[in-house]
Each structure stands twice: as structure tokens, then as C-alpha cells.
Structure 1
């Protein structure tokens, strides 16, 4: 393993244990640091609902790209790509191995692969945003499905921003949105990708338990405390799973029990989608999440690259 070119990525669905394994790998490697590749953990104050590592956990090894955005900022994968690659380059310059950890296949690939983002046209984007406001998210998702079925299959009907972006890219380039994705080929010469394999029934129970624990830890109060910071006006932070549902509860649109149940259901759907996307990447070495020798297996994969 050449430290100057080495990158480790720990991926998998939410609640699979990625963050803990990433820290343990970094500790075992010694000269290694954790780099966040989760879009919602970029936000300050969104701690409970994103299962963000707390201060004590982050003190074990250096962590990067947590708490770098205000909730009113719009998360941009193109901007994130520049920030994350700068962190990776700095790690390499210091002889440190970056350990990426996150559940977004797009954000992971934005860092490690030859992914170039199409340009934007404010007029075209605004026109589709106006269509969204006029017709609603489901109707616009149906429009995307007619124009670009592959993109629609990968974008949730509730993800307004990505629906608008996919329609914008399609109009500007004349190509399907997913056609802009490059081959699975890393820009780094020494890449180890690890995935945590959790049986479906086990994962769904873990997700339900996690949501219960978030509520017990004060998730509703966390969202309420972000109202003065402007989370409701955010185009990205306000759409995060759990936050969206609790905001609806605080507005009186649904009950708290409904918010909790919708959070569980939405998170399960999201986790299944995460898993499907990662399973398409043959570079990932899948490890059983509950293996007694999980760390040893993970480090063995890393050192063999």
C-alpha cells in the first residue's frame, strides 16, 4: 500500500456500522484520518438526525468535513468534490491515509472517480423549478421518468432538487442524467473499498431502533432549535430524512407519531436504495457486519491493495 496514493472508503447503508469501523481502521493503520462523505453530516447542528459522530468519537482520530455548512447553505456535490479532494491531497502530502466514510454512492464517487459535473444554466434551472412549484414533485418526477427513466429510478420523488437538476442536465446536454457518470475507475492508484453487509431483516430492525433512540436523544428538540437558524428555508437540509418529517409535525401537518413512523419507513426505503447502488460497484469488498474478526478482515483488505 502506497500512502501517497492510498485511499480507503467504508461504505454501505445507513445504520450498518460504517462510522465505527472507519475509526477503528484509522486507529489500526496509525497515520490515518477520517473524511466524511455524507451530505447531511456536513451541516452544523444536524447531529442527532444524521447519527453524526460526537466530539468524543471524533477526538479518537482526526475527522474532516463535518460541520462545514450552515443549514441555510445548499449542499453541492460539485463543491464537495473540490473540498474532499483537497483534504485527500493534504493527507497524502502529510503521509496520512484518508479513510472516507459515508452512505452516498454519488458523494463517494465524486471523490474517488473521474466524475465531471455538467455546467448549469440559471434560466433553465429556474424554469424547471417553476414547473416544480406549479405541478408538484410527483408530477415532475413522472416527467423525468418519461424523459430519463434511468435517472428517475435513482432519484426519490421527494428529492426536488435532484429532479430539477436531472431535467436541467438533460435539456442542456441532450443526454440522460446518469450518462454523465464515468466508468468505475478511481483517480487514486491505491484504493480499498469496504462495504458492510447486513441482512435485510437485521438492518430494518436496527433502523427502527435507531429512530427510537434519536427521538429519545431529543431529535424533535434538535429540529426545533434549528428553526431560528433558517432550516425551513433550506433547499437541502430541510429535506433530510427525519428533519422533513419533524418539520411537518412542528407545522401541525402530521402528528408526532406519524412523523416518527414516516421517518422509519423513509429511512428503510433509503437504506435499500443505498445498498442497491453500492452493490453495482464490483470494487467493494463486502464484509459481514457482525464478524468477530471484522477489523482484521478489513485491515487485511486495505493492506493487500
Structure 2
């Protein structure tokens, strides 16, 4: 498929997979081949200054391809899937208006689904939530569970902890609909194709260790120190990011650098396993081997086959 083959019938493309599988590189290659623009779908790459620890591509590494939704949040701000859904769809429409192909790239599964799928986010109301929390303090959680069972049996059976029970009751009180009615379905919001990069687990295990050690050598600790000066600890999302959480402990004198690196490696491997499980559950994803010498050609073939016949 050449650059001129892309057009309005080319679906939205999503390149997904576990961290360290080469998604960014394939995204760039697809964008060069199709006349695409990249839309970030890695929640931690939203944050300004979180570059080394998130493996964010430098400007030179982007090879002139426009990238969107990078560096859009301060480390003190909280990422929101609902806001991302709105912003990503706005950007996709803008990319289409320029005659280009939107290419989502990232491993944050829920953010990918928010951009691609018919996924409705129920509203929130701080006053309603505060009232329910007061009722819980007065009457206890069992009373709230009983009330939830009366209005939303499906959620009552599935949810048990205090936060989720209160959230389900909040949604019902605001909308009059059961919280369970907002559960997502695997239906695309607009024509889309997902390409999932597959990596052997043993290979990925070694790659992730090498990746973390390279981040340390590039100055991850100094990056965390700079971000700490800008309020990293007060950010509910950013402060929990892989590597950043561990290296804050180095700054506090709790851990040596080597221990922080090893804990980051272990945490990153656990995260990659969760990503593999998440993406494996979506049968719509076309799996391709990350190291296949024909990877780009095969990915273009997947995109071409997903286009409707003219």
C-alpha cells in the first residue's frame, strides 16, 4: 500500500500491545506509509517532563510525523479516561479533515477502548457522592448494598467494596439508570482496525530489564528529581507511574538506585502481563509478531483488508 492508497475509507488504526514491544516504531512506519498522524494512547506520556521513564519518543525520533496528546498534563493533574475519549475523538476528526489517517499508539487498554468503542461514561456529582458517604457512615455499608440490590441487582452482585457501591448508587441517583447499563460492549464507534504486537514472554522479560537499566543510565533519577520539584508527589496518577514511584524512594533515602531499578523491572513485568491479558481478551485485535522482518508489510495488509470495498 503506497502513500496514495490511503484515504477516507482507511479505518482508524490502533497499534497496541505490552510495554517494550515496539509499538512506537510501528506507528511511525505506518504513518510514513499511509500519510498518518499519531495519537498517543499511553496514559503516562500525557505528562510533561515524564520522558525517560515513559520511553517517550524525542522530536527527532518522531521523524516529522505529527504526534498528538503528548505533554498535555502537569504532573499534579489527574488523567481522565472520559476526557481522553473526548479529546482523542476531536483529534481524530481533525486528522481526517486534513486528509490523513489517525493512528492510535499505546498500551493503556482502557484509553484505547474509550477512543475506539461505544463506551459511555456515567456522570458524577460530588454533592450526591458526599451524601452517600455520609449515609454509609451513619447506616453502614450493608445498608447501601441492600439499597443497590433493589435498584441494580447486577451491580450489587458484582461490586463489593465501599467505593464502587457508592459509585453505583451515585450513578443511579443522578441518571435513574442502573450502573450496570453503562458497561462497555466491543462495538467500534467508527471503522477501526487494531494491530497487536506479540512478544514471547521470556524475550519480553529480558527486554524490559534492559529497558529499565537504559532509563537509569539516561538519567531517570535526575528526571524524577526535577519532577519532584514540580509537584510529582501530589499527582495522584503521575506519582504512581512505573519507575517514578520507585525512584522517589531513592530521593528519600529509602532505597539505593539498584534496588529501585530491580523493583521497577519487576513492576514493569507485572504490568506487561496484565496488558497481554487485556489485549488477548479482545478478539478483534490482529496479532503480529514484533520481530517479524515483514512486520510493516503485514500490518499494511491488515489495514488494507479492513477497508470496505469501493
TM-score computed with the length of structure 2 as normaliser: 0.82
Gaps of 5+ in 2: 1-5, 135-154
Question: C-alpha deviations, 1:74-114, integer Å up to 9, x for none?
Answer: 11111111111100011111211001001011000000111
Within-5 A mapping of 1:59-74: 59-74=63-78
1:54 aligns with 2:71: no
Q: Distance in 1 between matches of 2:128 and 2:241?
A: 25
1:251 equivalent in structure 2: 252
Is the Cα–Cα contact under 8 Å of residues 151 and 176 in structure 1 kept in the other structure? no
Question: C-alpha deviations, 1:238-276, integer Å up to 9, x for none?
Answer: 011110111122122333222111111110000000110
1:183 equivalent in structure 2: 185
Cα RMSD of the aligned pairs, angstroms, is 2.6
Q: Distance in 2 between matches of 1:204 and 1:91?
A: 36
The change in CA–CA distance for 1:93 and 1:165 in structure 2 (over 3 A counts) is farther
Alpha-carbon deviation of 1:180? Answer: 3.4
Alpha-carbon deviation of 1:128? Answer: 10
Is the Cα–Cα contact under 8 Å of residues 38 and 104 in structure 1 kept in the other structure? yes
Of structures 1 and 2, the larger Rg is shown by 2
TM-score computed with the length of structure 1 as normaliser: 0.83
Q: Distance in 1 between matches of 2:163 and 2:95?
A: 32
Alpha-carbon deviation of 1:6? Answer: 2.0
Q: Distance in 2 between matches of 1:127 and 1:266?
A: 37
> Segments of 4+ in structure 1 off by > 3 A?
123-130, 147-152, 163-168, 173-181
Gaps of 5+ in 1: 131-146, 153-162
Is the Cα–Cα contact under 8 Å of residues 114 and 182 in structure 1 kept in the other structure? yes
2:220 equivalent in structure 1: 219
Aligned residues: 277
The change in CA–CA distance for 1:192 and 1:86 in structure 2 (over 3 A counts) is same
Question: C-alpha deviations, 1:150-190, integer Å up to 9, x for none?
Answer: 789xxxxxxxxxx986454334247998873321110112x
